[in-house]
A and B are shown apart, each in its own frame.
Chain A
Amino acid sequence: QSVLTQPPSVSGAPGQRVTISCTGSSSNIGAGYDVHWYQQLPGTAPKLLIYGNSNRPSGVPDRFSGSKSGTSASLAITGLQAEDEADYYCQSYDSSLSEVFGTGTKVTVL
């Protein structure tokens, strides 16, 4: 029931910059609802990474940044590190479906 679309995978070498897109529609991101991002390390629960499109909770490195435009949002990881290898999910609110998550993106550090 994922209404937010993400690329299945992205990869990059250590130190590089990678971006993950999250594409929604006029009933969620395009309606003005904020986008939030979660990091899920293997075998663990998701962890809040970015809230309110671009805000980092305390303790999240500034290598992670978020942005939103129109019906899409993006998560950028600069200076990619081995410990960033994880699944990443975007999340927003949909006027018909309530809280919705993205399809998820696996980040691989080469």
Chain B
Amino acid sequence: QVQLQESGPGLVKPSQTLSLTCTVSGGSISSGGYYWSWIRQHPGKGLEWIGYIYYSGSTYYNPSLKSRVTISVDTSKNQFSLKLSSVTAADTAVYYCARELGYSSGYYFDYWGQGTLVTVSS
């Protein structure tokens, strides 16, 4: 059973960089076949896909966040990470990491972390 766990600061100051790490257990990122994604949910709102990384390091980001997002992977630690720069209060959200499966007719998320609330405030 694959499990994902987010970790990182719960409070970030405006204009700084939000940094989160997702640790994967029960499966190896480097085995391939899956994308590893970040998704966020603003308080009381819907879900927003941020981007994904493949074990090889190739990435794809939501066009609306692309200029501020960097996702990286550390296969030796079975972890992948999110950096979101120049944050504002609008980036306050619960951030989830998830495993994403892609195929000919689309993509979906089959395993999710429990989520971590990140608040942007001075």
Contacts and interface: CB of A to CB of B under 8 A. Distances in A.
Q: Which bucket holds chain A's interface residue count?
A: 20 to 34
Interface in A29-60: 32-34, 36, 38, 44-48, 51-52, 57
Interface in A69-110: 89, 91-93, 96-104
B106 A98 contact: no
Contacts, number: 66
B62 interface: yes
A47 B112 contact: yes
Contacts of B49: 98-101
Contacts of A32: 105
B26 interface: no
A99 B110 contact: no
Contacts of B64: 1, 97
Contacts of B108: 34, 36, 48, 51-52, 91
B107 A93 contact: yes
Contacts of B110: 48, 51, 57
28 contacts: A1-B48, A1-B62, A33-B106, A34-B106, A36-B108, A36-B109, A38-B109, A45-B114, A45-B115, A46-B47, A46-B109, A46-B112, A51-B110, A52-B106, A52-B108, A91-B47, A93-B106, A96-B63, A97-B62, A98-B62, A98-B63, A99-B37, A99-B49, A99-B100, A100-B49, A101-B46, A101-B48, A104-B47
Given A99-B37, A102-B46, 6 more contacts: A1-B64, A34-B106, A46-B112, A92-B106, A99-B107, A104-B46
Interface of B: 37, 46-49, 60, 62-64, 96, 100, 105-115
